[in-house]
Amino acid sequence: MLKTAVFPGSFDPITNGHLDIIQKAAQLFDKVIVAVGHNADKASMFSVEQRLEWIKQSCAHLPQVEVKSYTGLTIAFCQEQGAAFLIRGLRSGLDFEYEQSIAFANKEMNAQIETVFLLSSPSYSNISSTIVRDVIKHKGNYKAFVPAAVQF
């Protein structure tokens, strides 16, 4: 049986930090599903379709990576995909505290799915989609923060 993991997020847009975590996960799991969550209550800068395309292009060199979108609870999506692992990237201790509480809630909902925390490389620890969106919005040079596919 394949060891399948889901790496969920908004990826609005995908950053080099996200790609760093995806590449690490691809070394650990047989199949990694990068899952773009669609949240109707959250205004996104880029469409789900655009984000999916950017991720597909950025991960083209990783054959075990699939890219999908979903709505609803992440833990339910993991179960639907037959994933036993949920990947979360950590940039700092603050990320850990936030992600730990979500991991505990997910464990209550489905004890069979294990959350795995992966640390970002230090050079990417200061990058977030929020920062990238702000730089793009103000017409700054964002290209050092995102994969080539996102550079428009």
42 labelled catalytic: yes
Which of 10, 58, 120, 129 is an active site residue? 129
18 labelled catalytic: yes
129 labelled catalytic: yes
Q: Cα dihedral sign for 71, 66, 34, 45? A: negative
Q: Which of 19, 12, 9 is nearest to 147 (CA)?
A: 19
Which of 31, 58, 91, 120 is an active site residue? 91
58 labelled catalytic: no
Across 30-142, the runs of DSSP E, i.e. the strands, are 31-37, 65-70, 85-90, 114-119
Which of 10, 18, 24, 31 is an active site residue? 18
Q: Which residues are annotated as catalytic?
A: 18, 42, 91, 129
